[in-house]
Chain A
């Protein structure tokens, strides 16, 4: 089973460029989320979705857009990359419910120069 697949694994962008981080899951999970991981700050929630067509903002949504047209896919778009967006990005999926654990992708290491 593939689980949660993120692409690309590494990316370097120039300031002002845009790009989309891809995330796909094959577990039929309703919930999907994007986190960024920065040293000393743990994982911070960017955006999340509770089902196709439904998305909402997390703690640090500025500069990012998401959409969820299918259950499987949850892409994260950087509109105009800034050095402050240099980070490691993780996509996660979960079954619906308070108690369900998250399954994570392998992460995308993004550097904005």
Chain B
């Protein structure tokens, strides 16, 4: 069965610290996509990145980077030099080919507090 686990419920850091948000997934599919979404205090979820199961290249976008490792079924998200505006809830999500991509399953989310 598909499952996404974000073991860190809340993380608190001071501005300019680096922080890594963990995501571990379970799936029997060989074809799937992983996503990260951000939910700022305003409430609306915003897409950050997707990664398919055949592409294990790490990705960097500004202060954000993602590390995908199939061997450990993990898709971790690192924010470098965190800023107060990074304070939000971050969700990891999984979409499997066997469900036609219809059902995107989300983790419980990690709430990040960045203090000035």
B43 touches A107 (CB 8 A): yes
Given contacts A43-B91, A106-B43, contact A100 B101 (CB under 8 A): yes
B interface residues with partner A (beta carbon < 8 Å): 4, 6, 9, 31-33, 35, 37, 42-47, 50, 52, 91, 95-97, 100-109
Given contacts A40-B9, A42-B109, A101-B35, contact A106 B104 (CB under 8 A): no
A45 sits at the interface (CB 8 A): yes
Minimum C-beta distance from A92 to chain B (A):
8
How many pairs, one residue from A and one from B, have CB atoms within 8 Å of each other in the complex?
66
Q: Which of B6, B33, B44, B105 has the most CB of A within 10 A?
A: B44
Chain B residues contacting A43 (CB-CB under 8 Å) are: 45, 91, 106, 109
Chain B residues contacting A92 (CB-CB under 8 Å) are: 45
Count residues of A near B (Cβ-Cβ below 8 Å).
30
Q: Which of B6, B47, B104, B107 has the most CB of A within 10 A?
A: B104
